[in-house]
Each structure stands twice: as structure tokens, then as C-alpha cells.
Amino acid sequence: MPSGAAETIAALPFAPTAAVLEAAIALLARTDDGGAIDSTIRREAFAAFEALPVPGARPGRGWKHDYAKLSYDDLRWTNGRVTMPAAPRRPAAARPDREVDQPALATDNAGGLYHIGATFVDAPSDADPRVTVKPFDAATARAFAAELAGVHGTLVDWRADKFAALATAFQNCGAFVRIPAGVVLDAPIQLVFATAPDAEAVFPHIVVIVEAGARATILERHVGEGDPFVCGIVEAHVADDAQLDYVAIQQTGEAARAFVSRSAYCGRNATMSWHLAELGGTLARTVLNARLANPGARSETAALFFNTGMQHVDLTTGTDHVVGPTTSDTVVRSAATDRGQGRYVGNIVIRPKAHGSDASLRDDALLLSKRAHIDSVPALEIAANDVKAFHGATVGSLDEDALFYVGSRGIPRPEALRLIALGFFEPVIARFPSEALRDEIRTALDAKIDDATEFVS
């Protein structure tokens, strides 16, 4: 129990080993009543992590990154809680508004959580009283066991995904969010993960339940100059007639890695919208899934990444039309310059019972330097009749005629390149749910153009 004047965080050197897992389990037993996830499950998940194959180079043969060679050196794993006496972290200097120069929780919100590394440090005092937003710890797991059942550990199947398994074994932070039936929120709920000064292994689990007829926007941010290894799970249950806009923005340090698997379940006439911007880090592996399990369900996915320097992004979207009629619309825009590398795998499955469904998948990639590379691998699997399925993909460089046209209007070539490249992302940016977010992403992309060393075509 806390007793000192200041507090500290219990930490271990991280490695994906059984010994570290046992130490983590022991630490959680001491400090968080066993933690949010049962130790039996953690051990099973760790066994799955070890048994599952390393995600390979295929599909998309140009992708050269080797997940087998991931380094876990110099990472700290914490218990995600501020519990023990005596230490430097919590007081004013580490408060959110000083730690990062992002608007973060300071902006208009209906509630949220602020983490530094895996440590939950703050929540807004004026959160909307109708919604539940809790750190994902032992108390939350116990209090909301009924709500979590069938969602947590189910929507993202850690038995089939190596990194989801790792995230489950070592979970040390996250959020539980519930929007009660019929509640419509104007402001977003913000879940902020600011990077800690030391490199941390951060394993968030985020569970969102949007009850029937409710509407909400959730903003998951990974920000800061630090270089964590983030490996997480997001599970969203969108009940009948409900709507969820889920925005994920990753803008972490140059050596950061962010692996997050996100999956949503959609009820009857429910709409799930994923909005993703991968802007930072050195390696991002992201999965965005939607399961359209009831008639009238709809998913919209808008994702972008822009790889400069040595950045790698590996994005997979998956839309499962389980029944009909259900609709989905996926738009992905990616660009790479310098030695940036990207891979996009777009899966759409239309199952035998999904008559009358309509799926559209459009992805365009822009290569801005000779050594940049992006693979695009759309995969449509259609087992039902009378469905509409569209897919279109392009990989190209900047259009010389467009550049000349812009130049002929007095705009110098570097600015013309910038204008056209930023315009390229607009179809995805336009789908983000607020002008503030859209502007923020435009500004971030603009800054990335400044940072790119090769920006010619």
C-alpha cells in the first residue's frame, strides 16, 4: 500500500521470456491484486506467442522486414500503476501538459485516460458522467466482468496472432470504455499514451462497448519523442443501431515500434468507422478488423501512412461480411520516401449468407524516392451471390504533368511536390471526424515532408 510522500512504479527489465512473465505475474500479484488478466491466461497466451509462426514476408514479396529479428533490448516493463513509495515520476513535472506538447486531454473531451508509458497518470475531472472510462486493471476487470465477457480476448483472437498473444501475456495498461444505450457524445473520449523518457514495453488492452443506439468518438493517441515498444489490443463491441468512430494516431519517436491489433464487432444497423494515421516510429504493425455479423451493419475504414527515413509500416485491414445485407468501405492512402517501406494487405470476406452485401476497397500508394517501396495486396474472397464488390489499387509516383501544371502557376517545384503529395492523402484525411483532427494530420504530414531527405520524383 502506498505510504510515502512520493510514489514509484515497479518495473522489470523486459524480455519475451517465461522467466520475465513469471516475474511480471508475481509483481502484479503484489501490486495490483493479480492484474487485469488471469495469470493462467497470461501463461497460455505466452505459450501461443512462442508457438505461433513469425509473420512472414508474404504476401507482398517486397516487404523485407524480419519480425524474427525484433530487438527487445533495454525495455522496461512496469506494472502500469503508481503504487509504491518514493520516486520521481508522478509529481507536477511529469503532468501531461508539461510532458508533451500535444493538446491531448486538454482539448474538449467527454472523458479519457492519460498514460505515460504504461502508467496511468491522469483522467479529466469533468468527464461526461454517463460514460465509463477506466484504466484496465484488476479492479476494472472484476467490476465489469460481465461486460468484458465475449468481447475481451474474443474479438482479437490472440490464439491466432503472435503479437496479440504477446500483448495478452504481458498486458500492463489500457482502458475500459462503456457508452450506455442511447447516449450520444459530442466530444471524443481520449485515450492518450505518451512515451516515457525511458524505453518501455507497453502492452495496452482497450475494450470499448457502445451500447444500443449510442454514438461516440474515441481517440487513441500514441505521442511523444520516446521510443517504446507498444504491443496492444483494441476490441470494440458496437451494439445494434450504435455508431463508433475510432481514431488512432501514432506519432512516437524515431526508434519506437507500435504493434496494435484492433477489431470491432457490429450489431444490427451498427456502424463502425476506423480512422488510422501512422506517422511516427520506425516500425508499425497494425491490424484493423471489422466483423459485420448482423444485417444492416456497416464498416468504414480510412487509413494513411507516410514513411520517411527508414520507417516501415505493415498494415492489414480485414472486413468480414458474415451476413447480408452488410456494407463496407475501405480507403487507404500510403506514401513512402527515402528508404521507407510499407505493406498493405486488404482482406474482404463475403460469406455464403451475406447476400446483398456491398464491399468496396480502394488503396493507392505513392512512391517518392527510388529506394522507397510499398506493396499492396488486396484479397477478396466472395462466397455469396448478388453482392457488389469493388476493389482498386494503384502504386505510382507523382504525376509529372500535374507537377508541370502546378509549376506553370508560379508555384516552385518543392512546393508543387508538397501540394500534390498532401492532396494525395486528402481522401483519407477528409474522413476523419473533426476539422481539428484533419488539420492536425495535415500539419503532421507537412512536417514529415520537411523531415524527408529525399523529396523529389
Q: Which residues make up the interface to other proteins (CB under 8 A)?
A: 399-402, 404-413, 415-416, 419-420, 422-427
Q: Phi then psi for 419, rounded to 5 degrees?
A: -60, -45
Are β-strands 257-266 and 283-292 bridged in parallel, bridged antiparallel, or unpaired?
parallel
Q: With respect to other proteins, which residue has the nearer C-beta, 98 or 409?
A: 409
Residue 86 is which amino acid? A
Distance in Å, CB of 430 to other proteins, minimum = 8
Q: How far is the CB of 390 from other proteins (least distance, A)?
A: 17
CB of 351 to other proteins, least distance (A): 34
DSSP label of 13: E
Nearer to other proteins, 91 or 423 (CB): 423
**What does the H/E/C string look like for 402-445?**
HHHHHHCCCCCHHHHHHHHHHHHHHHHHCCCCCHHHHHHHHHHH
CB of 180 to other proteins, least distance (A): 38
CB 431 to other proteins: min, Å: 13
C-alpha–C-alpha distance, residues 180 and 239, integer Å: 10
Q: Where do the DSSP E strands lie in 203-357?
A: 204-210, 215-223, 229-238, 243-251, 257-266, 271-278, 283-292, 298-307, 312-321, 327-336, 341-350
Return phi, psi of residue 417, to 5°: -60, -45
* Cβ-based nearer residue to other proteins, 129 or 410: 410
**How big is the chain by its Cα radius of gyration, in Å?**
22
Q: Report the nearest approach of other proteins to the CB of residue 411 (Å).
A: 5
d(CA 413, CA 409): 11
Query: Is the CB of 88 or the CB of 412 nearer to other proteins?
Result: 412
Q: What is the DSSP letter of 88?
A: B
Q: Cβ closer to other proteins: 50 or 399?
A: 399
Q: Which amino acid is at 176?
A: F
Closer residue to other proteins (CB): 56 or 412: 412
Q: How many residues are there in the chain?
A: 457
Measured at the CA of 435, the angle between CA 430 and CA 439, to 5 degrees, comes to 80
Q: How far is the CB of 45 from other proteins (least distance, A)?
A: 42
Nearer to other proteins, 84 or 304 (CB): 304
Q: Which three cell numbers stand for residue 71?
A: 530487438
- Closest to other proteins by CB, 377 vs 419, is 419
Least CB distance from residue 409 to other proteins, whole Å? 4
